[in-house]
Amino acid sequence: MANTSDIRNGLCIRYNHDIFKIIEFLHVKPGKGPAFVRTKLKSVTTGKVIDNTFSAGHKIEDVRVETHKFQYLYPEGDQFHFMNVEDYNQITINKAAIENPGLMKEGEVVTVIINSEDEMPLSVEMPASVILEVTATEPGIKGNTATNATKPATVETGASIMVPLFINEGDKIKIETAKGTYKERVKA
């Protein structure tokens, strides 16, 4: 058992009969009244994000987790297949446990969070950004970089992303995986 002073980003806790990962927290000490901790929790089973406030000193049940590197192999319906890069064991993970699965290309190495108690995979963390090739978009217009206008583009994984007007088919772009947004064009 832990308490609110042990809260940190990435901590997994058992709350409301589910396992949640703390993605954001703020210790608040108002001038009047007791201190509390405002948190943003993400369910590792459903991906749902909720806001919650714990009073100071509140007991929380932390869940011991391990992280392992896995290589993404292929999708099969709502299941995604991964291979452990150390011992080559394969696992399947439900689509709901993956943030932005449309940005994951085959061969990508990701971090899988596994519950130490029952060896069940909880969630998949992708790298902060990925580099993908644009496979379809309207032609770029030269000199159209002064405005922040964007257009839709399809990348090699099939995901659709809004990109600046100067991006053309065949360009490689860096995409921020947490938000699924364009970051920059990558020179070859």
CATH number, domain at 175? 2.40.50.140
Query: Which residue is listed with tokens 């970089």?
Result: 145
Shared domain for 135 and 121, answered yes or no, is: no
Q: What share of the chain is helix, strand, coil (3-state, %, to 5)?
A: 5, 55, 40
**pTM metric for this prediction:** 0.72
Inform me whether the pLDDT recorded for 47 exceeds 90: no
Domain that holds residue 172: 129-186
Report the number of distinct structural domains present in the chain.
3
- Burial environment of residue 169 by CB neighbours within 10 A (0 to 12, 13 to 18, 19 or more): middle
Shared domain for 118 and 137, answered yes or no, is: no
Shared domain for 110 and 147, answered yes or no, is: no
Inform me whether the pLDDT recorded for 67 exceeds 80: yes
Report the C-alpha gap between 13 and 56 in whole angstroms: 16
123-149 pLDDT per residue, tens? 888 888 899 999 998 886 666 566 678
Shared domain for 97 and 136, answered yes or no, is: no
